[in-house]
Structure 1
Amino acid sequence: MAPEKRFDRMEPYEEGKVQRMIIDLFQDNVCPWCRIGKAHLFRALAQYGGEPPEIRWRAFMLDPNVPKRGLPFMSTMTAKYGEQFSKEGMLGRVMEAGAATGLHFDFDKVEYMPNTRLSHRLIAIAPQEAKAGLVDALHRGYFEQGRNIGDPAVLLTIADECGLDGAELGRRLDKGEGESQIETDLAMARRAGISGVPFFIIGNKFALSGAQPPESFLKVFGRLAEQA
């Protein structure tokens, strides 16, 4: 478990009301450890039981300078990380950790390193009850099927596959919807000193960084319950 970090309340509680647990989940849609960390969180929540928390999906961009057209995946990442970016190195560790959580990664199919801003905006404007499934679908589409989630047409097709109205969401994206939420999320990450993801702020008090195991989340849930 990462060293415990406390946060001042980022949003005020309403006095006199029992508050539902809030989890701010900062993630990027091309981050494999975000996919694994999210799976660990949901496994912990299933074990913990009780009222489901409110999960606020917060955008984080590992590389906001990626052009809208994207970059070639393997050559870009090899230039950044060197020979360790291989199935015998970094990719192998991801695939092993994913398999232990029941997640499949097929990096042979991943051709693009997309700019993720539009995919974050899509999550931002999706109905709250559909966000988790949409994030799952984006991760699955990118890491298992090699779909280019920087392509607007691909994003809207994935939305349709999730039972959403892709055409309507596309019209809203064309109007700029979701942009202010992304700026809010990125500014919040800067204020909190977040430099990597996944990053979880739980109950506006405690933070976990990285793809922590379910036990780490359960420990924090227990501490929040004690304080309540």
Structure 2
Amino acid sequence: MIIDIFQDNVCPWCRIGKANLFRALAERGGETPQIRWRAYMLDPTVPKEGLPFMSTMRQKYGPQFSKEGMLGRVVEAGAAVGLGFDFDKVEYMPNTRLSHELIALVPDESKAGLVEAFHRAYFEQGRNIGDRAVLLEIAAEAGLPSAELGSRLDLGEGSAQVEEDLSMARRIGITGVPFFIIGNKYALSGAQPPEAFLKVFRRLEEEA
């Protein structure tokens, strides 16, 4: 089974949805599926230097945005699945292009760990994951060869894969993430509960 995960590294619901997927996979047991991590950018217009987080959120969502309301719901939903979110530490809304390129460069078996490392660094520690040096620090902390990866980033090696993912998302018509394509057949959008994934797994097994 192949599972494509379209996600952005500054999307809190992507982190929650990912946790629910892996919980469902653990409950399902059996053969480990092939997971393809696909890049998606919630806002590709964010400049490389990033934007101030809180004021940008207020500008984007208007009167409906509040730290206690919109972000508070994220904190509660994260706590329910054992994930921490500390938006008091988040100062920047980064451009995530470089972080996606770095994910594209690492071996498949390291991608899930690096995605989670980026999520943890951003949402729990407030680190600027739009900054090249910070990204390579996180990669090193995850046990990856940061110097080699930095050289490959500078050569633009991850760019083609990211472009392919973004193009695929446009072609499919994805307008929000997380977005999961399971078995090349079924799609789930949003931070679905584990039960939703298990239902799709059972359906695929029945069809097989």
Work out whether 1:24 is the aligned partner of 2:4: yes
Q: Could you list the structure 1 runs, at least 4 aligned residues long, displaced by more than 4 angstroms after superposition.
A: none
- The 2-side partners of 1:106 and 1:211 are apart by 19
Q: Which amino acid counterpart does residue 46 of structure 1 have in structure 2?
A: A
Q: Which amino acid counterpart does residue 198 of structure 1 have in structure 2?
A: P
> Kindly, what percent of the aligned residue pairs are identical?
79
- How many angstroms does 1:89 deviate by? 1.1
Q: What does residue 82 of structure 1 align with?
A: 62
Query: 1:113-192 counterparts in 2 under 5 A?
Result: 113-192=93-172
Q: What does residue 206 of structure 1 align with?
A: 186
- The 2-side partners of 1:43 and 1:117 are apart by 28
- The 2-side partners of 1:160 and 1:128 are apart by 17
- The 1-side partners of 2:64 and 2:106 are apart by 37
Q: What does residue 31 of structure 2 align with?
A: 51
- How many angstroms does 1:191 deviate by? 1.0
Work out whether 1:91 is the aligned partner of 2:78: no
- How many angstroms does 1:70 deviate by? 0.3
- How many angstroms does 1:86 deviate by? 2.2
Which secondary structure does the structure 2 equivalent of 1:181 belong to?
helix
Q: Which amino acid counterpart does residue 22 of structure 1 have in structure 2?
A: I
Work out whether 1:222 is the aligned partner of 2:207: no
- The 1-side partners of 2:141 and 2:158 are apart by 20
- How many angstroms does 1:30 deviate by? 0.2
Q: How many residues align?
A: 208
Give unmatched runs, 5+ long, in structure 2.
Answer: none
Please, which of 11, 15, 24 is the counterpart of residue 35 of structure 1?
15
- How many angstroms does 1:197 deviate by? 0.1
Query: 1:59-74 counterparts in 2 under 5 A?
Result: 59-74=39-54
Q: Which amino acid counterpart does residue 99 of structure 1 have in structure 2?
A: A
- The 2-side partners of 1:34 and 1:177 are apart by 25
Q: What does residue 16 of structure 1 align with?
A: none
Which secondary structure does the structure 2 equivalent of 1:23 belong to?
strand
Q: Which has the larger radius of gyration?
A: 1
Work out whether 1:101 is the aligned partner of 2:50: no
- The 2-side partners of 1:47 and 1:173 are apart by 37
Which protein is richer in helix relative to its size?
2
Q: Which amino acid counterpart does residue 39 of structure 2 have in structure 1?
A: A
Q: Which amino acid counterpart does residue 104 of structure 1 have in structure 2?
A: G
- The 1-side partners of 2:35 and 2:66 are apart by 33
Q: TM-score, normalised by structure 1?
A: 0.90
Give unmatched runs, 5+ long, in structure 1.
Answer: 1-20
